[in-house]
Structure formats: structure tokens, C-alpha cells
Amino acid sequence: MKTARSGKHRVVAMATAAIFLMGGSVWAAQLDLTLQESIDLALRQNPGMSIAQSQLDAAQADVSKARGAFGPSLDASTGGTYYGERKATLDNERDSYTAKLSVSLPLYSGGKLEGALGQAKANKVYYEKGYEKTKQQLVKDVTEAYFSILQAKDKVKLSEESVADMQSHLNNTQAFFQAGTVPKSDVLRAEVELAQNKQNLIKAQNSYNLAIAALNNLLGLDYRNEIVIKDTLTYSKVDVNLDQCIQTALVKRPEITQAESQIQAADEGIKVAKSGRHPTVSLSGAYGWSGTEYPPPDDDSWSVMVAAELNLFDSNVTKAGVSKAKANKAEAESAFRQTTDNITLEVKQSFLNMREAEERIQTSLKAVEQAREDLHIAEVRYAAGVGTNIEVMDAQVALTQAKTNYTEALYDYNVGKASLTRAVGEEIK
């Protein structure tokens, strides 16, 4: 048995060492993800969802607590008194023991218990919709982060193409210089432009790495994970109407229901505050034992009592509480109006931003075609000796910018759709 345990310990130690040595590869895993897979993973692992669920669980517990206040409460107590050596000299100083069970039940609270339960239920609705809001926001954030990677990836590709194109142009310029057809300044200018393009490539690669880290963070993963995106930036037209989007948002957005629940909670708070003007009635009972032995033998007693209590004067504490509760309701009603206004504005902004990006897609795509043709003409003219080096480089810069504009328009359009989906409260098609 001792040999077997030693062998087991060696196996565990070797496995632990292997995991430690492979730590980099274990943590820096590669994930091939579609957008939907990214969203599903985030909904399972993002800490924000756990926080929202915990808040909802706490709100449900508050409802149970408020509901339990309507029921009976049962308490037990026991005690004893021991006098030591003096008990033999004084008859009234004998050891004594007691045991008691008591029960109480509220019969009428003036609306306090009912109001507290109503508040708890309204707060539960608030956190239910808060969970839904967190989910919708996370979907939008993941979508935006996912498309940011696609955009960054495309920009890296564009920068690599720019470096390759400028390197090719530099090679041609050097050949022309060796042949004596162009001045040295053309070579120097091309070298400077190539260095600038390499700088842009470094920045693009860094932006790509930052985009990967941002998505890892949203997915609840280690920042070293390498994510490979399966999708591409594409254009898919959606046919939606602004007015219809606004109407849908004012029904579907969880923030609307949250604001309504706050008004309901404030209403219930007024009931709680006003309960101080009403009497409270309770029923209580007790059954106990007492004696000089433990457990006490037969010396028991019981009692039942109905009690009513009414505050006659509290120095305006109740009145002030009612005023505060009414002010809280007025605040909640104003917050509701503010919420509807903000949602309306958010929908309009998202809608217009999406439409703007959609128009830019068409114009930038045409600009790419024109810039590509312009570069071809500039290169032919330069090779023939009738064009200038500046014309070629300017044409290359213009083509790169046109391609960048197209990529950014695609990104803005897809992110705009995600923003409009979040603003409306449901997927748009």
C-alpha cells in the first residue's frame, strides 16, 4: 500500500509539472468563433450576468421576506437561576428554572405589511428587467467588439498591401534611378513613404491585438487567448421604419418596465408611510413551565392576548414620511418621462447612424474603383516617363484611404444595426 501511494503521488506531481510547463499553451488557447458563438459564450461567462442574477435572487428573497411577515412567529426560551451555598439558609433563594414557547401573529398593520410586500414585488420586477437589460447590453457590446476585430483585421490587411505596393514602387523607382531616368529625390521620397506605411502597419497590428483583448474580456476569458474570427464584414440591408422602431422601443425596452416598477414601488411606499396613522392589531399566545427542577414537572401556564396599538402623536414623523414618499413618487414619474425621451432619442440616433453608414458603403465602394483606376494610370504614366513620382504615391494613398473608408463604413453599418437592435429592444430584420 505504501508503494502504491508513492506511485500515485509521483503521477500527480508529474501531471502538475506538465500543466505548469504547458501553462502558456493552456491559457493562450485558440478559439474559432462566430458572432453567435461569441454571444452565447459571453452570456454564460461574463461576470455582469452573474451580478444581474445575484441582484435578482436578492430581490426574490426580499419578496419571500415581506410575505413571511404576514405569518406567525414562534419563539422558544429557557433559563435558570442558581444561588449556590446560600440556598440552604434562605427559603426564598432556591434554584429556579423556566421554559417558554410563544407565538405571535399580526392581524392588521394599517397597510404597512401590504405596502412592504408591494414594494418588494415591484423591486423584483425592476431587477428582472435589469437582468434583461444587462443581457441586451452585453449582446450589443460583444457584437461591437466582434466587428471591431473584423475591422482591425481588414485594416491590417490593407496596411500590408500598402507596404507591399510601396515596396514595389520603390523597387521600380530604384531601377529607373539606376537607368538615369528619374532623380535621387524620387527614391528618397518613396523610401520615406514606405517607412510611413510600415508605421501604419504596426499601429494596425496593435489595434487588432487590443480588439482581441477587449473581446476576451467580454467573454470572461484570459486576455492571452487567441481568437480567430470566422465571419467577415458584409452588408445586409434591413428594411425598418423610424416611427415603428420608436413605438416598438417604448413597449419592448426593459428600462420602460423598470421605470414603471419604480412608480409602483413609490406608490407602495406611500402606503407604508400612511400606515403610521392607523392602529396595529396582533394576536399572541404563550405556554410556559417554571419550577425548582429541570425540566420543570407540572407547574405550567398559558396565555392568549389580542393587542391593539395606535400612535396618538409622533411630532409629525408620520406626516414627514408621507411627504417624502409622495416626493419619491413624483421623482419616479419624472424619471419615467425622462426614460421615454432618452429611448426615443437613442432610437433616432441609432437609426440615422445606420442609414448614414449605409450610404457611405455605396459611395466608398465606388471611390475604391475610381482610386484603383487612377493608380493604374499614374503607374503607367510614370513608367512611360510622362508622370511623376508624386502622382503615383498620391494615387496609392488615395486607394488605401478609399479602401479604409469602405471598411469603416461596413463596420459602422453593422455596429449601427447592433445599436438599433439594443435601442429598440428586439432584433431588427
Q: What is the pLDDT of residue 145?
A: 98
* CA 271 to each of CA 263, 283, 322, 396: distance values in angstroms, whole numbers, following the listed order: 13, 23, 8, 73
**Residue 409 near residue 361 (C-beta atoms within 8 A):** yes
Residue 295 in domain:
no
Tell me the pairing of strands 96-108 and 280-291: antiparallel
Residue 224 in domain:
yes
Residue 192 in domain:
yes
Residues 324-360 as b/e (b if ≥16 CB within 10 A, e otherwise) read ebeebbeebeebbeebbeebbebbbebbebbeebbeb
Q: Which residue has 437613442 as its cell numbers?
A: 346
Q: What is the pLDDT of residue 168?
A: 96
Residue 90 in domain:
no
Q: What is the pLDDT of residue 82?
A: 74
Kind and range of the H or E run holding 100: strand 96-108
**Residue 191 near residue 177 (C-beta atoms within 8 A):** no
Comparing CA positions, the residue from 427, 422, 406 lying closest to residue 357 is 406
**Residue 413 near residue 361 (C-beta atoms within 8 A):** yes
Q: What is the pLDDT of residue 429?
A: 73
Q: What is the pLDDT of residue 403?
A: 97
**335 lies in which domain range?**
28-70+109-277+317-424
- With H, G, I as helix, E, B as strand and everything else as coil, classify residue 136: helix
Q: What is the pLDDT of residue 126?
A: 98
pLDDT in tens, 106-155: 999 999 999 999 999 999 999 999 999 999 999 999 999 999 999 999 99
d(CA 214, CA 343): 27
108 strand-pairing partners:
281
Residue 414 in domain:
yes
Q: What is the pLDDT of residue 93?
A: 58
Sheet holding 73-81, edge to edge: 73-81, 96-108, 280-291, 300-309
d(CA 228, CA 193): 31
Predicted model pTM: 0.84
**Residue 100 near residue 288 (C-beta atoms within 8 A):** yes
| DSSP code at position 103 | E
Residue 103 in domain:
no
Q: What is the pLDDT of residue 301?
A: 86
Q: What is the pLDDT of residue 92?
A: 57
Q: What is the pLDDT of residue 294?
A: 66
Number of structural domains the chain divides into: 1
Q: 225 is written with which cell numbers? A: 487567448
Kind and range of the H or E run holding 120: helix 112-179
Side-chain half-sphere CA neighbours of 121 within 13 A: 10
Comparing CA positions, the residue from 206, 223, 222, 228 lying closest to residue 152 is 206
Helices 254-274, 317-384: axis angle to 10 degrees equals 170
Ranges of H-type helices in 240-387: 242-252, 254-274, 317-384
Q: What is the pLDDT of residue 419?
A: 97
Whichever domain contains 394, its CATH number is 1.20.1600.10
**Residue 392 near residue 169 (C-beta atoms within 8 A):** yes
Q: What is the pLDDT of residue 428?
A: 81
Residue 18 in domain:
no
Residue 249 in domain:
yes
**Residue 259 near residue 332 (C-beta atoms within 8 A):** yes
d(CA 402, CA 359): 14
Q: What is the pLDDT of residue 163?
A: 97
d(CA 23, CA 128): 40
Comparing CA positions, the residue from 258, 261, 256, 267 lying closest to residue 329 is 267
Q: What is the pLDDT of residue 14?
A: 39
**Weakly modelled stretches of the chain, pLDDT under 50:** 1-27, 87-89
289 strand-pairing partners:
99, 300
